[in-house]
Structure 1
Amino acid sequence: MRFIFKTDYAQDLKLAKHSGHVFWYGTLMLALLAAPWLVAEYWLAQLTFVMIYAIAGLGLMLLAGFTGLFSLGHAAFLGVGAYTQAVLTNAGLPFPIALACAAGLSAAVGLVVGLPALRVKGIYLGMATLSFGFIVEEVFARWESVTGGNAGIHIKVPDMFGWKLASGESFYFLCLFITVAATLAILNLLRSPTGRAFVAIRDSEISAQSMGIHLARYKTLSFALSAALAGIAGALYAHKLQFISPDQFNILQSIDLLLMIVIGGVGSVHGAFLGAIFLISMPQVIALSKDQLPAAIGQAPGLQAAVYGIVLIAFVLFEPLGLYGRWLKVRTYFQLFPFYRKGLFKRQKSFQKSDRLK
Structure 2
Amino acid sequence: MTSLPESQTSTLLDIVAIADNFPPFSSPYPTHHPITLEPYVPFHLTQEDYQNHLSPVGLVRSPVLDELLNLNCPDFLLIRSSSPGEDGRWKNDVDCVCFSSEVVQGGHEEMGRVMQSITERWRDEGKFMSRLEGWRNEKYMVYADPRSSAFKTIPIGTMSNGAFPLERAACALFGFMTNGVHMTAYEGEGSSMKIWVPRRSSTKPTWPSKLDNSVAGGIPAGMDPLTCMIKECAEEASLPEDLVRKRIRNVGSVSYFYITPDGFLQPEIEYTYDLSLPPRDSVEYVEPHPCDDEVESFALMSIPEVLDALHDKEFKPNCGLILVDFLIRHGFVTPENEPNLHLTGVRMHRRLGVAVPST
Using the size of structure 2 for normalisation, the TM-score is: 0.24
Point out the structure with the larger helix share: 1
If asked which structure has higher relative contact order (CA below 8 Å, sep 6+), I would say 1
Using the size of structure 1 for normalisation, the TM-score is: 0.24
Point out the structure with the larger strand share: 2
